[in-house]
Structure 1
Amino acid sequence: MNSFDRFYGGWQEQLRHLVDQLAAAPKPPISPDHHHQLHHLVSKFMDHYAEYHRTKALEVDRDVLSVLAAPWITALERSLQWIGGCRPTTVFHLVYTESSILFESHMIDILRGYRTGDLGDLSPSQFRGVSELQCDTVREENAITEELSEWQDGMSDLMVASSNLEEKIGKLGAIVKKADDLRLKTVRRVVELLTPQQAVEFLISASELQFGIRGWGLNLGKSPNNLTQKEKEK
């Protein structure tokens, strides 16, 4: 187990504590004091998320291939990754899904003019902001994908110039960092478009999705088909 393995385990544990704090946060209607409390919790969560990316960037500099192999996560999680992490555009699918579910559950109240204040109560300007951000993110995501594709095509050059390997690996690290920067920037900008209450709900949903996928991956790893003969005989 390397240092990043240990860091990731502790980071995940702290993430669960933060999600518990978000889940216990005040619900609408909220007072100005509650609004301040929610803003503090969201900032605390985002600082934790940023810490992960700062530490990961150092690991990329040390061994980018290890970061892409990601031995600290499950095989299922690795199968869903895009350049060392989730696709930034996954954030928008989550926002739209949660908004639709909550809107349907509160439809009568919302149509009567009652403001629920949750993700099902996004304003037209918020929807417009999310849509515009999604378009920008798709463009950036596609550009990074193309950059990785060009890097992969260029690897054939190593057959005749193996001395360029270190330089090529360095370029790969830069691509991974660019993907991580887009991931962090996308989450930050989505949170900025939401009210503190909506941001709390969004961050809880995103974390629960992450925990769920990890849980499924761990369970798959324990299935009989994935056990060694010695493990099956125990």
Structure 2
Amino acid sequence: MGAARHVACYQRWTAGQEAGLGELEASSANAAAGRATDGELRAVVERCMRGYAEYVSTRRALAREDGAALFAPPWCTSFENSVLWIGGCRPSLTIRLLYSLSGEGLEEHIEEFISGRGALGAARGMGLLGITARQLELVNDLHRRTLRDEDALSDRLATLQEDVADRPLLPIVRERATAAAAALGAGASCDGLATRTRLVVATPEGAVDHEVDAAIGRYKAGLGRLLEEADELRMSTAQTLVTEILTPRQAVETLVAAKQLHLKVRSWSRRGEAAVTQPARSPVTLPPAPSSNP
């Protein structure tokens, strides 16, 4: 039942991405033709971000039920899972996307601006999106903060993963292994040890084990908390970028590219995996080699 809710959440999100992309592309075309005002474009961006906020809210509830299920979800392709960071894309990916959209020339301007080797006019627009020097300064500051927060969450995830080799799981594993070995040995004559051993060994494989379930549950809860914070960072980074730094038209173009990237990567990776899992073709029977005898 829980897995079905996770899958349904993702399917609704993907359907929303497709619908949102259509609206954003139409708005982009209208803006290019001069048929859309900043107010209209801003309303489209706000609707897009509301959909994202609703998705994050739903995932928060699911993460509290089973956070581990969202770290390598089976409804995603193996390629999609390989690029996930704490159950989703890296928050800084949105900023990297903006840099890419703005063109190769913008990267040179960024390096010059950060190092102080270049002077950028305050009103000068750069790249395909027309990013100004002031916007670039704000984006760079957001990027630094986002990377710092990503690193902090990554460190906490590493600690949580390393804790698998410590309490509470390791003592349980060692205790069960010792008890099982004692049960098989001929010297387990102590009544207390024998009684304890019988209790441990008598638990069949796959049976309910409350002690183990509680220990694993603690790890899942920790993963769920990390995922909630990662989702909030993803949301706040995108929100700051498209509603506080970029103009409405720049925000629309950035969101169009983000949704296109997500949907195309999913489509292409699904196609690739489908090809790999197709039944192998029947081997081709080659004709016998010609005899070397005259």
Indicate the TM-score class for this superposition, using the shorter chain for normalisation. 0.7 to 0.9
SS in 1 for 2:9: helix
CA shift for structure 1 position 94: 0.5
Residue 177 of structure 2 corresponds to residue 177 of structure 1: no
8 Å contact 2:84–2:90 — kept in the other structure?
Answer: yes
Q: TM-score, normalised by structure 2?
A: 0.68
Structure 2: 5+ residue stretches without partners: 107-123, 173-211, 283-294
In 2, Cα distance between equivalents of 1:176 and 1:222: 29
Residue 250 of structure 2 corresponds to residue 221 of structure 1: no
Residue 158 of structure 2 corresponds to residue 133 of structure 1: no
CA shift for structure 1 position 169: 2.1
In 2, Cα distance between equivalents of 1:21 and 1:204: 9
Match of 2:31 in 1: 27
Match of 2:54 in 1: 51
Q: Which has the larger radius of gyration?
A: 2
8 Å contact 1:70–1:78 — kept in the other structure?
Answer: yes
- What is the aligned counterpart of 1:38 among 25, 41, 47? 41
CA shift for structure 1 position 117: 10
Equivalenced residue count is 220
Residue 97 of structure 2 corresponds to residue 75 of structure 1: no
8 Å contact 1:119–1:202 — kept in the other structure?
Answer: no
Cα separation, partners in 2 of 1:193 and 1:48, compared to 1, 3 Å: same
In 1, Cα distance between equivalents of 2:219 and 2:85: 19
Deviation per residue, 1:102-140 (Å, 9 max, x gap): 97xxxxxxxxxxx98985311101000000000000000
Structure 1: 5+ residue stretches without partners: 104-114
More helix by share: 1
**One-letter amino acid of the structure 2 residue matched with residue 69 of structure 1:** A
CA shift for structure 1 position 171: 1.4
Residue 271 of structure 2 corresponds to residue 199 of structure 1: no
Residue 6 of structure 2 corresponds to residue 4 of structure 1: yes
**One-letter amino acid of the structure 2 residue matched with residue 62 of structure 1:** E
SS in 2 for 1:188: helix
Cα separation, partners in 2 of 1:10 and 1:164, compared to 1, 3 Å: closer
1:93-112 alignment, distance < 5 Å: 93-100=96-103
8 Å contact 1:4–1:59 — kept in the other structure?
Answer: yes
**One-letter amino acid of the structure 1 residue matched with residue 65 of structure 2:** R
In 2, Cα distance between equivalents of 1:58 and 1:117: 42
CA shift for structure 1 position 14: 2.3
Match of 1:211 in 2: 263
Residue 265 of structure 2 corresponds to residue 189 of structure 1: no
Question: Cα RMSD (Å) of the superposition?
Answer: 2.6
**One-letter amino acid of the structure 1 residue matched with residue 220 of structure 2:** I
Deviation per residue, 1:172-209 (Å, 9 max, x gap): 21111111111111111111210000000000000001
**% identity of equivalent residues:** 29
Cα separation, partners in 2 of 1:172 and 1:14, compared to 1, 3 Å: closer
In 2, Cα distance between equivalents of 1:64 and 1:178: 12
SS in 1 for 2:6: helix
8 Å contact 1:39–1:196 — kept in the other structure?
Answer: yes
CA shift for structure 1 position 92: 1.5
CA shift for structure 1 position 72: 2.1
In 2, Cα distance between equivalents of 1:197 and 1:185: 20
Q: TM-score, normalised by structure 1?
A: 0.85
Residue 155 of structure 2 corresponds to residue 152 of structure 1: no
